[in-house]
Amino acid sequence: MKEKLDKKVRRIDTDIDKLRIKIKDSNSLKLEENVFDEPTLKNLYKLSRKDFIKELGGSISTGKEANVFYATGPEKELAIKIYRITTSTFKAMDPYITKDPRFTNIRHTRRDIVFAWTQKESQNLKRAISAGVRAPEPITTEKNILIMEFLGENEVPYPQLKNITLEEEDAKRIFEIIVEYMRLLLTKANLVHADLSEYNIIIDPNTLEPIIIDMGQSVTLEHPNAREFLYRDVQNILRYFSRYGIKMSPEELLSKIQAK
Ligand SMILES: Nc1ncnc2c1ncn2[C@@H]1O[C@H](COP(=O)(O)OP(=O)(O)OP(=O)(O)O)[C@@H](O)[C@H]1O
Ligand SMILES: [Mg+2]
């Protein structure tokens, strides 16, 4: 078994060499080797040839559907989110995407759904930013790969909200900004995040400002479950911030978010 795995890893290493993508930390890639199937490697190579990626770095996160890696571009640090095609919980994606009117004519094979999902995340991030929400700027997509602005400095990613402890005063200010972002998303971008929680909010440590991430599952208000997703987001946010003394009913928060 081990031998087989070693062989597989070696083969991937050779492929990477062949593709001439510079790898900063090949050990972390070995752990993540199931992400780098052959088509993904080819697409990474394509992106490096087009000069989007200069150097691929270590793993930032291994999630249920995607892996996020650090990389450098010609000018800036990058985050590269790679949706897994074979091991992703792709069934969970289906209702979010097949009921979205923007994606009605995509084929429903696993690959096609993952590719559409990647594009959807990029489009949703753009719409959020245009509405005035702070989110990582999407740079480009290639099949199941999304390249975006790196939220962090000198290879160190900024923390998730769930991993920091705040002064009550700062927590209240962050809460207000999140409420305003939810309002802008809904009223200006016509979007419901649909997975908003302390996991998908990053805190810029310089300004203690929130940044919203992970918008692959976000839907427009036309989606049949949009209201239900919005209510869930509202409950998640209120549950998290109650520890900082913020008490509000879901209905009150909803009315704030819906105000034009
Ligand atoms: N642009 C970025 N810059 C820096 N770190 C990032 C960026 N995007 C994502 N991350 C980090 O990677 C983690 C996972 O990203 P994201 O939430 O988008 O993926 P995910 O697939 O939802 O993960 P999961 O499957 O666990 O829900 C984030 O919590 C964050 O810590
Ligand atoms: Mg996430």
211 and 251 in one domain? yes
Q: How many structural domains are present in the chain?
A: 2
134 and 197 in one domain? no
Model confidence pLDDT, tens digit, residues 145-197: 999 999 999 999 999 999 999 999 999 999 999 999 999 999 999 999 999 99
Residue 236's domain spans which residues? 158-258
Model confidence pLDDT, tens digit, residues 158-167: 999 999 999 9
Q: What is the reported pLDDT for 5?
A: 46
244 and 140 in one domain? no
Cβ contact 226:192 at 8 Å: yes
User: Is 170 noted as a catalytic residue in this protein?
Assistant: no
The Å distance, Cα 66 to ligand 2 centre, comes to 9
109 and 74 in one domain? yes
200 and 143 in one domain? no
Which residues surround ligand 1 with Cβ inside 6 Å?
60-61, 63-66, 68, 79, 81, 136, 148-152, 157, 160, 199-200, 213-214
30 and 129 in one domain? yes
pTM: 0.85
Domain boundary residue, one of 93, 121, 153 = 153
6, 195, 204, 233: the catalytic one is 195
CATH of residue 82: 3.30.200.20
106 and 16 in one domain? yes
CA–CA dist 85, 83 (Å, integer): 6
Q: What is the reported pLDDT for 101?
A: 72
Residue nearest to atom 23 of ligand 1 (CA): 63
User: Is 15 noted as a catalytic residue in this protein?
Assistant: no
Pairing of strands 156-157, 191-192: unpaired
Helix (H) or strand (E) holding 113: helix 110-130
180 and 113 in one domain? no
Cβ contact 136:149 at 8 Å: yes
Domain boundary residue, one of 107, 137, 153 = 153
The Å distance, Cα 177 to ligand 1 centre, comes to 20
Listed ranges 2-11, 59-68, 223-232; the one with the highest mean pLDDT? 223-232
First CA to last CA distance, the chain = 60
